Amino acid sequence: MPRPLPHIPGASAALQGAITRLENDDPRFSPGEVASAFRVWQWVVSGPVRRARDHATHADCDLCNSPSREVLELALHLLPQRSARELRRLVAPLDERFLRRTLPKPQLTEGPWWWFRT
């Protein structure tokens, strides 16, 4: 029996469906990747503050952190508008927690905002 794919807690069936279509249609995604990324990002901002800060310190480092917020960002740009809006509502409280738990770091290169926290 194949293992059931992970899903995003709180996501509607419509959003899950849109994510599944995106993962099947776009070669940049593999099945279940968006939900896995969501769960990693949720884990990063839960538990000890240390966890968010450790993640932030190595945010742009593939060796320490497999892409999570990056995967969510790509999905937010590619999903149909209504689904993107719903996913944005689910990701926003996690982003806020990450911002509360980390501090700004000087921006020396180009990159997304979550690379410039520590």
Which range, of 18-26, 54-62, 84-92, 110-118, touches Zn ion by CB under 5 A? 54-62
Q: How many residues bind Zn ion (CB under 5 A)?
A: 3
Q: How far apart are alpha carbons 112 and 40 in whole angstroms?
A: 17
Q: How far apart are alpha carbons 46 and 54 in whole angstroms?
A: 12
Out of 28, 58, 85, 105, name the contact with Zn ion by CB under 5 A. 58
Nearest approach, Cβ of residue 57 and Zn ion (Å):
7
CA 100 to chain centre: 17
DSSP labels, 14-63 = HHHHHHHHHHHH-TT--TTHHHHHHHHHHHHTSS-HHHHHHHHHTTT-TT
Out of 14, 49, 64, 92, name the contact with Zn ion by CB under 5 A. 64
Which range, of 55-63, 68-76, 95-103, 105-113, touches Zn ion by CB under 5 A? 55-63
Please report, as ranges, the residues that interact with Zn ion according to CB under 5 A.
58, 61, 64
